[in-house]
Amino acid sequence: MNTAHLGVSAALLTALFFVPVLAQDVATSRPASQPDAIATERAPEDAHLAAWRVELVDLAYRAVSKMPSEPHIKSRSRAQEDVVDVALEMGLPLRAATYAKGIANWRAAAAHADVAKSLIDMGLPVAGRKQMAAAEGALETVQKEETQGWRTSRVQAKLAACDLALGEVEEALRRQVELADSETSFVEEAKAKLLTVEAFDAQYERARSMIDAANFDQLKAILATCKILYSRFFDDEVRREQVISLAESAWKSLPIDVRIETRFSFARSAMAHANPAIAVQLVDAADGLRQRVSLNPELTVTLAARFAGMRAEVGQPTKALQEANGALALFTADKKKIVDIYRGRTLRPLAEAYCTMGESEKALEVYRMALDEGFVNPNSRPRADDLAATCLSMALRNTEPSTDLWKRIVQIEGALAKPW
């Protein structure tokens, strides 16, 4: 990733531990063009983004951080880690590192490891190593029971991926020895990104030999590898088809949405390689999978929304709009069949699909629906989750809330209180 694009210097990033304040503690401020106050503090790294996008991320973090640690430490920390992920995706490693410091359980270590990997990938190994040290330090400070089993394994897997990116293969292998099956995908993806043409055949045969005896987690790791390899070797038709064959063998016992999302990943790779014809074929193949199963209303609407977004991505705007409008109609008809705390997450992919189509007004309408549905449940924990997820979605999709929608966002954030 180009640091010039991010509007942030290497010197600034190496000072990650000197960011003085957590997002939820900064003073409120907003541009005069928008009503009410939303906490934010502009940092030099923010320069490449519109202020309102950063403010949405800050608000999301502040909202989920309102959850009381007792009894919601797991939900609170998981939601905070989600904000870290989005901050990194948006090119905000300083903010992500600050958010990670505010996580109270083992997920702080996992979040710091993610920040480290992002910095290393940006070509900033000094800053990355500091975050790796922060991850290891955070892991040591949490309660003993939280460092057992898959939790420690996940952090070590993320750190092993960092080691590989730094070229420290022996250290990565040392960490990998004790990894749980459920956490190997982080390392396998890192290996796939470094795989040479000469090593492809051996890796492919190794993965094929594992499939019959592989458990659920190992199969998911194989699919994660396939996504990387498909993109890396896209121009090699023989190897590209081998990857598809491997994925089809691996996903036979996995849920339908996993299989569809894998096809979607391949389609995005095809578009990145300027081959829309193959991308359309992949989406059509995924649609064939969908047509063979009967799904509940929530998953039916969600998948339809994702197909709408993918149809738009591969250059099929008419089909995309038809799919999205059909999904919206289905949600309206079957809303009462969907549990209230799941309605927001059902609507967000649909809003995102309209964003992809350039239908910004329709997207904002659906985002408003998602906000309102997320407020139906009287408990603030699911309200905070939904509010944060919707804010992060708008920030990622570069869809600015209207004045009225900002008011609604601020209202919901301000209403987060007992009962939790």
169 versus 73: which is more confidently predicted? Answer: 73
pLDDT value of position 17 = 27
User: Domain for residue 42, yes or no?
Assistant: yes
User: Domain for residue 401, yes or no?
Assistant: yes
Rounded-to-integer distance, Cα 282 and Cα 266, Å: 7
Average pLDDT over residues 405-412: 96
Rounded-to-integer distance, Cα 390 and Cα 380, Å: 15
Average pLDDT over residues 341-360: 97
pLDDT value of position 153 = 85
Q: Cβ(388)–Cβ(63) under 8 Å?
A: yes
Residue 235, Cβ density class (10 Å: 0-12 exposed, 13-18 middle, ≥19 buried): exposed
Tell me the pTM: 0.83
What is the span of the domain harbouring residue 68?
Answer: 1-147
Count the neighbouring beta carbons within 10 Å of the beta carbon of residue 372. Answer: 15
- Which phi and psi angles does 69 have, rounded to 5°? -60, -35
Query: Which residues on neighbouring strands pair with residue 76, listed in sequence order?
Result: none
Nearest residue to 389 via CA among 50, 88, 82: 82
CA distances from 301 to 91, 175, 286, 311, 326 (A): 31, 41, 16, 15, 9
pLDDT value of position 336 = 94
Rounded-to-integer distance, Cα 106 and Cα 104, Å: 7
Q: Cβ(357)–Cβ(308) under 8 Å?
A: yes
Q: Is the pLDDT of residue 42 over 60?
A: no
Count the neighbouring beta carbons within 10 Å of the beta carbon of residue 375. Answer: 19
Rounded-to-integer distance, Cα 320 and Cα 355, Å: 11
User: Domain for residue 277, yes or no?
Assistant: no
Q: Cβ(16)–Cβ(127) under 8 Å?
A: yes
pLDDT value of position 360 = 95
Last residue of a domain, one of 116, 147, 178: 147
CA distances from 204 to 86, 188, 190, 293 (A): 32, 12, 15, 30
Q: Is the pLDDT of residue 1 over 60?
A: no
pLDDT value of position 33 = 32
Rounded-to-integer distance, Cα 2 and Cα 263, Å: 29
pLDDT value of position 143 = 56
Average pLDDT over residues 112-135: 95
Token pair, residue 348, equals 């967000």
268 Rama class: left (phi>0) / alpha (psi -120 to 50) / beta:
alpha
pLDDT value of position 15 = 30
- Which phi and psi angles does 29 have, rounded to 5°? -160, 150
Token pair, residue 17, equals 């531990």
User: Domain for residue 256, yes or no?
Assistant: no
User: Domain for residue 105, yes or no?
Assistant: yes
Nearest residue to 259 via CA among 248, 275, 269, 268: 248
3-state SS class at 47: helix
Q: Cβ(285)–Cβ(239) under 8 Å?
A: no
- Which phi and psi angles does 274 have, rounded to 5°? 60, 45
**Both ends of the chain: CA-CA distance in Å?**
40
Mean pLDDT of the chain: 85
Q: Is the pLDDT of residue 121 over 50?
A: yes
Which residues touch 295 (CB under 8 Å, ≥6 apart)?
256, 303
Which amino acid, one-letter code, is at 73? I
Annotate 299-308 with b (16+ C-beta within 10 A) or e (fewer).
Answer: bbbbbbbbbb
pLDDT value of position 207 = 82
Task: Tell me what percent of the chain is helix, strand and coil, each rounded to the nearest 5.
Answer: 75, 0, 25
Last residue of a domain, one of 132, 147, 162: 147
Token pair, residue 279, equals 């991308």
Last residue of a domain, one of 100, 128, 147: 147
User: Domain for residue 176, yes or no?
Assistant: no
Q: Are strands 28-29 and 38-39 parallel, antiparallel or unpaired?
A: antiparallel
Cα 7 to chain centroid, rounded: 22
pLDDT value of position 181 = 60
CATH assignment at residue 356:
1.25.40
Rounded-to-integer distance, Cα 199 and Cα 212, Å: 22
| Domain total in the chain | 2
User: Domain for residue 208, yes or no?
Assistant: no
In which band, very low, low, confident or very high, does the pLDDT at 198 lie, cut at 50, 70 and 90?
confident
Which amino acid, one-letter code, is at 44? P
Q: Is the pLDDT of residue 38 over 50?
A: no
User: Domain for residue 231, yes or no?
Assistant: no
Average pLDDT over residues 46-57: 90
pLDDT value of position 208 = 84
Average pLDDT over residues 398-411: 96
Q: Is the pLDDT of residue 134 over 80?
A: yes
In which band, very low, low, confident or very high, does the pLDDT at 176 lie, cut at 50, 70 and 90?
confident
Which of the residue ranges 125-129, 187-191, 222-226, 305-309 would you say has the lowest mean pLDDT? 187-191
Average pLDDT over residues 83-98: 95
